[in-house]
Structure 1
Amino acid sequence: MPLDHTHEAAATSWVESARDHPVFPVQNLPLGIFAPADGRPRIGTAIGACILDLAALAERLPEAVRPALAAPTLNALMDRPPAERVALRHAVFALLTDPARRAAAEPCLHAAADCTLHLPFAIGDYTDFYVGIHHATNIGRQFRPDNPLLPNYKHVPIGYHGRASSVRPSGVPVVRPKGQRKPPEAEQPVYGPCARLDYELELGVWIAQGNEPGDPIAIATAGDHVAGFCLLNDWSARDLQAWEYQPLGPFLAKNFHTTVSPWVITAEALAPFRAAQPPRPAGDPAPLPYLWDAGDQARGALAVDLEVLISTAAMRAAGLPPHRLSHGPATNMYWTVAQIVAHHASNGCDLRPGDLLGTGTISAPTPDGYGSLMELSTGGKTPVTLPSGETRSFLEDGDEVILAATARAAGFAPIGFGECRATVLPAR
């Protein structure tokens, strides 16, 4: 995506709260689905502490996208060609920066605090990948100390099909799942509440235009099929997972709840924050030709800082702020977004607008950047101590996990993703 006037750091909006806003300045313009207190869900964009109703302003936006703006999801809008999505961004930017257009747009502003945010898409399919090599290494080392990565890891982006129906927007509580597990000391498996509930820090990738069945997506054009990004928490029941994952992989340990941040940070907004993919270590195999593109290697990574925070019931009762568990860059992904999109469609699988791809847990090489409690507590052997004096090997009821992200690059205004949070409720 090329840079243009909407990315200029000096650009300001007449919306007062948007000026120097740490998450939603006018350079961001994320898309999402919101509902005011007295209205139905509709398409809007976050601007500062407000939401601009794009459906209500459709007549002032490009004609080609007007029918899609009337829908209660982003599916039809993101099915439009990339040039039309850019034209929409330009038009919204003009509405929010041109004082002469303020009178037309201001009545369509809503206070974000008074609105409800919904899932941005009707999700047809959800696939979770495993591209965080440090996470894969850390987890693998707990089970295979001498050979943590399986032989295929550096040859192919590993993924599995998840459950689209249990994807929820930020703020919806996660109910502790029940399932079958086999404690090490038990002769037989038992059924009951998960005892080793964990979070996973991921980015979510929203698909825009898809591909026809049987037609692969070339890696050089894979970016055209990406609508944008969100934060994604792949809640994981580690004890259920340990018992059930062989031989077919994740099932009930993963499909009970997935939390996503509700705003789509568009591919266009992230254009200034593209970065070179870190070079592969010496001796690593070169990707096969269908997964290799020089342009993607030059600008296929994202300069995005990620962090995880926790707030326990005791911390909230004591007035303590959330505690940061870890932070690190999104450049710790071993495979680029274009590579996972191209691989997903390489066998002819048809992707569709609104499909969701998870990157897999993004961890750093050191503990201050680990993206899960499974890593931080070394599988429960070294509990994490919190400012309240509590310890955590895995999540307890009442714990709230918060994911956050900010894209930063020299010479550009930083933009945020908005929060991805959920509180753990007891099993039912």
Structure 2
Amino acid sequence: MPPFDLPEGDPFGTHNLPYGVFSLPGSDSARRVGVRLGDHVLDAGKAAYALGSPYAPLLAQDSLNPLLAAGRTTWSDVRRALTAWVTVPAHQEAIADLLHPLSSVTLHLPFEVADYVDFYASENHARNVGQIFRPDAADSLTPNWKHLPIGYHGRSGTVVVSGTEVVRPSGQRKAPTDPAPVFGPSVRLDIEAEVGFVVGVPSQMGKPVALGDFREHVFGLCLLNDWSARDIQAWEYVPLGPFLGKSFATSVSAWITPLDALEEARVAPPERTHPLLPYLDDSDPSAEPDGYDLRISVAINGHVVSEPPFSTMYWTAAQQLAHMTVNGASLRTGDLYGSGTVSGPTERERGSLLELTWNGRDPLELPDGKRTFLEDGDVVTLSAWAAGPGGVRVGLGEVTGQVVASS
């Protein structure tokens, strides 16, 4: 029976309606845009045609990119139409056969990734990393950290959808006591619990995107796992930063939650401790807050090891977008940028194994044995929720990946 009467409080109810791309088994296996409703997915394109919607050509696609490029007014209009289709009784007969159980479909990467950028926006994470690697420094933060969102450009071609296996990467590594580097599979494979932001409307090269224009360009967000080979990264990153230690895989959710579904989750970011340059200054008390209160959970082989709070992130997604374009760099439809590791102030809220085990010094005790870094066969799952209207939760699509041995 199609899920028109969902259980009360279902985090994927009509208040949420995240977008994805799916295919059916057999001969009708073309990819199509879907909208999640409970444990079903609605074929959005066919529903639009069945109901005579003017948005049918936009939704009858094999990727979200055309919808992403359509702009904020269309995003809101389409969302209102979808809400009506799944809540108004008169529409239910027309779309009943277009709702498919999630267990019967294959989910795909929901959009074509253009550029990929990853940031370093959690003060708790940055301080932990500084204390691990620079224990004698007067300040665990680098001098620039409170003045700009630090980031790096990654490899968009290795962004993969949840459920894709992650092959343990190989590369050069050199321990401090080793006389020379060696080559082989990473022995310090890590995860980073992050949130990814998906750009819809492009911008013109040479024209920065202002802080207040964030919602005109960013369509929505998803969970993101920035897999990291810490030993490869440690040897290569001086002086130019992450490269092969990061570029082998980045996992994202199959579901993109539109920003319009997260209005109740908007919160003010942490107090600013340093004056900000005008293009990053978000101190205007009349402006709507650009932080988001997302509650993330990190599990290894089904055992929860951390619950990082996104509300503690020092730099917001709006500031990251403004900084990413302040030099005139242009946005493209399908650009993806990651928040950086989400870590809270307590040990239970750290978003990477690097921090959770303090660089391997304090192994985690799991039901299937101790862990300092990931072993072959380990399954990592990120899940999250946010506050929604009337106290109901807004579920974010989970991100799962299993580590497989290097071939």
TM-score norm. by structure 1 comes to 0.91
Aligned to 2:329: 349
Partner of 2:212: 220
**Contact 2:32–2:63, Cα closer than 8 Å, also in 1:** yes
1:197 is matched with which residue?
A: 189
Q: 1:296 to 1:366 in 2, by over 3 A?
A: farther
Residue 209 in structure 1 maps to residue 201 in structure 2: yes
Q: Any residues of structure 2 matched to 1:261-280 within 5 Å, and which?
A: 261-280=253-272
Task: Please state if 1:24 is matched with 2:12.
Answer: yes
Q: Which of 97, 113, 116 is residue 123 of structure 1 equivalent to? A: 113
User: Structure 1 380/329 Cα, relative in aligned 2: closer, same or farther at 3 Å?
Assistant: same
Distance 2:388 2:73 in 1: 24
SS in 1 for 2:242: coil
Identity in percent: 43
Q: 2:394 matched to 1:402?
A: no
Instruction: Tell whether 2:14 aligns with 1:34.
Output: no
Measured after TM superposition, the shift of residue 100 of structure 1 is 1.0
Report what 1:316 is aligned to.
none
Tell me the CA shift for residue 14 of structure 1: 7.2
Corresponding position of 1:56:
46
Deviations along 1:193-250, whole A, 9 cap, x unmatched?
A: 0000000000000001010111111111112211100000000000000000011100
Matched residue SS, 1:187 = coil
Tell me, yes or no, if the aligned pair for 2:45 and 2:57 is still in contact at 8 Å: no
For residue 314 of structure 1, what is the aligned residue in structure 2?
none
CA contact (8 A) 2:2 2:96 kept: no
Structure 1 portions without partners, runs of 5+ = 1-12, 312-321
The code of the aligned residue for 1:31 comes to Y
Q: Which residue of 2 aligns with 1:73?
A: 63
CA RMSD in angstroms comes to: 1.6
Query: Where does residue 289 of structure 1 map in the other structure?
Result: 278
The offset of 1:416, in angstroms, is 0.7
How far apart are 1:142 and its partner, in Å? 0.9
User: What is the aligned partner in structure 2 of residue 5 from structure 1?
Assistant: none
Q: Could you tell me how far apart the structure 2 residues matched to 1:164 and 1:359 are? A: 15
Q: For residue 120 of structure 1, report the CA deviation from its aligned partner.
A: 1.0
Structure 2 alignment gaps of length 5 or more: none
Instruction: Find the aligned partners of 1:216 and 1:378 in 2 and give their Cα distance.
Output: 39
Q: Residues 69 and 200 of structure 2 are in contact (CA less than 8 Å); yes or no, is this contact kept in structure 1?
A: yes
3-state secondary structure, aligned to 2:93:
helix
Q: Using the alignment, how far apart are the partners of 1:62 and 1:181 within structure 2?
A: 56
2:93 maps to what in 1? Answer: 103
Letter in 1 for 2:256: V
Give CA deviations for 1:334-357 in whole Å, capped at 9, x if unaligned: 111111011111111111111100
TM-score, length of structure 2 as denominator length? 0.95
CA distance in 1 between partners of 2:396 and 2:187 (Å)? 31
Counterparts of 1:328-339 in structure 2, within 5 Å, are: 328-339=308-319
Distance verdict in 2 for CA 1:295–1:177, change over 3 Å: farther
Contact 1:17–1:48, Cα closer than 8 Å, also in 2: no
- The 8 Å contact of residues 110 and 256 in structure 2, kept in 1 or not, is answered as yes
In 2, distance between residues paired with 1:152 and 1:123? 29
Q: Which amino acid aligns with 1:382?
A: D
Matches within 5 A, 1:103-252: 103-145=93-135, 146=137, 147-252=139-244
Residue aligned with 2:264, SS: helix
1:28–1:415 CA contact under 8 A, matched in 2: yes
Is the 1:30–1:45 contact (alpha carbons within 8 Å) kept by the matching residues of 2? yes
Aligned equivalent of 1:421: 400
Partner of 1:373 in structure 2? 353
Amino acid at match of 2:403: V
4+ residue segments displaced more than 4 Å: 295-298
CA contact (8 A) 2:172 2:182 kept: yes
Q: Output the CA distance in 1 between the equivalents of 2:6 and 2:73.
A: 26
Q: CA deviation at 1:148?
A: 1.5
Shift of 1:400: 0.4
Report how many residues are paired.
401
Aligned residue for 1:8?
Answer: none
For the residues of structure 2 that align with 1:66 and 1:101, how far apart are their CA atoms? Answer: 15
> In structure 2, the residue corresponding to 1:138 is in which secondary structure?
helix
